[in-house]
Structure 1
């Protein structure tokens, strides 16, 4: 009898993983987790000093990491980022599109076109451009994994997060589209939809005790999550353990959408 080698199937040794928005929160946690499983992670975000710190911490722990500053979202830096990773590390096997913005909280009708464009450029156009650039690289390497960090707001719009939710719904649709188009190249594309995770990005939603307690009362698990709780699913989708997973929309929300 052949037994499933769980350790081997979650191993990322020899893989190159690019994670955007990785200077803190979910992105940093995923970078640390993938590095610990053997990947050479590329930690990318808007500020060089911030990604330098995350990469240094990973290297200090004995793992492989490179820090590259990039502001993805319609400014031409996606091409530069992918080219630099390919030149320095030979290619890309895993892409995690985690970078996102939400500069406004309130009704969608009050969102200016300038803010609308900013949200869409970072949350949707950025992942699309990076996906376009990694496709030929992953194809040449015999396959790969793309993980798009969406949101439960992309499944059901959240009050006060209207256009952000729209951008995350579009990212889910992009995920499914590319999964269908890229399957023949053995490139898997999946979406992770976190609920409320305790990060700096979501601080306005959980820092108020009353708001937090009200939210937690509606959760079957009764608490909000920490960034590290997203890592296990990301490892599954990036590794051979998730080799038959593509086009999936996976929630990590404590039962919020149940």
Structure 2
């Protein structure tokens, strides 16, 4: 079976690394991002390396754009067998009482509603073929609390709960759904150096492995979970944080 993947937020960071790695392994990849130029660059790099890729501009929180993107991928590559819900935004650091309606909607639409929109459209089609692989990129903040990040934390907790529910509902149809919970990753959103002075040094100091993750490391786990031999991994949340959450809370780490 020819594998076809949609990866959201694939214009850079984890999404771009996953798109390139899956393409290396023969997967036809749809690179979705709200920033069209970034998606195009990733797709071009994949094509130049001998892979097959399609770039699509998509605001993943908008139903019409999600449905149009799915139709484009199906017409270009055929049936979609892999979905990686990677698109996400962190938003500014705010206390709960400082969060505006607009900020809440923006983060929730991008991080959580997008997962619902893509899954609602693709799950029935995956059921028809009795096969599907879904990977949701959550966060260790989906397992813990974190001061001044309430909306982001809520969205990632919701993503993990949604992951478990999909696994329970659709596993009998050959569909698996898992979440990956990265800690600090070497991406613009992952380390947010503009928000807190000396942020990176403080993160590294509290990490048992004394570094942040590289996007390709998360991509390698995605590649494993969407592979043909991962059918018994279902409904789990895999923590990839270098051991930070094993001994210290997120809030403590920022102090």
Distance 1:18 1:206 in 2: 31
* Contact 1:206/1:212, CA 8 A, preserved across alignment: no
Choose from 32, 49, 53 the match for 2:41: 53
Cα offsets for 1:38-91 (capped at 9, x unmatched): 100110101222111100001101111111111111342111111221122111
CA distance in 2, matches of 1:152, 1:113: 25
The total of aligned residue pairs comes to 246
Tell me which moved more, 120-129 or 209-218: 209-218
| Distance across 2 between alignment mates of 1:56 and 1:215 | 34
String of CA shifts for 1:122-160, please: whole Å, max 9, x gaps. 111111110011112211222110000000000002232
SS of aligned partner of 2:105 = helix
Look up the match of 2:10: 22
The counterpart of 2:143, out of the listed 141, 155, 168, is 155
1:156-187 superposed Cα distances (whole Å, 9 cap, x missing partner): 02232221011000000000000000011111
* TM-score, reference length from structure 2: 0.92
User: For residue 221 of structure 1, what is the aligned residue in structure 2?
Assistant: 209
Other structure's SS at 1:251 match:
strand
Match of 1:62, SS state, is coil
Structure 1: how far apart are the matches of 2:80 and 2:200? 39
DSSP-derived class of the 2:188 partner: coil
Q: Say yes or no: does 1:178 pair with 2:166.
A: yes
Q: Which runs of no fewer than 5 residues in structure 2 stay unpaired? A: 247-255
Alignment partner, residue 202 of structure 1? 190
Counterpart CA distance in 2 for 1:29 and 1:159 is 29
**Mapped partners of 1:46, 1:232: distance in 2:** 24
Task: Provide the C-alpha distance between the structure 2 equivalents of 1:193 and 1:18, rounded to a whole number of angstroms.
Answer: 19
**Residue 98 of structure 1 is aligned with which of 86, 103, 106?**
86
**Distance (whole Å) between structure 1 residues aligned to residue 90 and residue 201 of structure 2:** 23
Secondary structure (helix, strand or coil) at the match of 1:202 reads helix
**Structure 1 residues 156 and 205, CA, compared in 2 at 3 Å: closer, same or farther?**
farther
66-75 vs 49-58, which moves further? 66-75
Structure 1 residue 209, shift from structure 2 partner: 6.3
**Inter-partner Cα distance in structure 1 for 2:202 and 2:89:** 25
Please give the secondary structure, in 1, of the residue aligned with 2:54: strand
User: For 1:235 and 1:140, how far apart are their aligned partners in 2?
Assistant: 23
8 Å contact from structure 1 (residues 94, 146) kept in 2: yes
Pair 203,94 (structure 1): closer, same or farther in 2 beyond 3 Å: same
**What's the Cα RMSD here?**
1.6
Moved over 3 A (4+): 205-209
Q: Distance in 1 between matches of 2:97 and 2:23?
A: 42
- Which residue of structure 2 lines up, in the alignment, with residue 36 of structure 1? 24
2:110 aligned counterpart, secondary structure: helix
Structure 1 unmatched runs, 5+: 1-12
TM-score (norm 1): 0.91
1:113 aligns with 101
Q: Is the 8 A contact 2:60 2:110 kept in 1?
A: yes
Query: In the alignment, what sits opposite 1:6?
Result: none
